[in-house]
Amino acid sequence: MVDFSNIDYNRVQYVTNRKLKNKEKEETGSIMMFSYDRETFYFKMKCPFCGSNQEGEEHFTRKPYYVLCKNCGKKSRIEKLNKK
Ligand SMILES: [Zn+2]
């Protein structure tokens, strides 16, 4: 698992830190996600649907990116990844 307090920003290719909205469009969640190679993405998320905190890694090959909550099973769409 990646240490989020020790990210090597010289190597980061993409990073995003944003609010996530629930069904009612309220910003009840958030996600921090980054990637060193644009294939493996590490994330820390507060699920906007159930409020659980979790972290993990995902492999994305195409946009849009979705992160699945392991607790409630709902997907959050990551609108855009900000280039560092
Ligand atoms: Zn959830």
Which of 57, 3, 50 lies closest to 35 in space, CA to CA? 57
Q: What is the pTM of this model?
A: 0.84
Report how far ligand 1's centroid is from the alpha carbon of 60 (Å): 20
Report how far ligand 1's centroid is from the alpha carbon of 68 (Å): 8
pLDDT score at 82: 55
Report how far ligand 1's centroid is from the alpha carbon of 50 (Å): 4
Q: Report residue 82 as tokens.
A: 């900000």
Instruction: Give the chain's mean pLDDT.
Output: 90
Judge whether 64 and 83 are in contact, CB under 8 Å: no
pLDDT score at 5: 86
DSSP state letters, 13-42: SEEEEEEEE-TTS-EEEEEEEEESSSSEEE
Surrounding ion ligand 1 within 5 Å at CB are 47, 49-50, 69, 71-72
Q: Split the chain (84 residues) into runs of 10 and give each run's mean pLDDT.
A: 84 92 96 93 96 94 90 90 53
pLDDT score at 83: 54
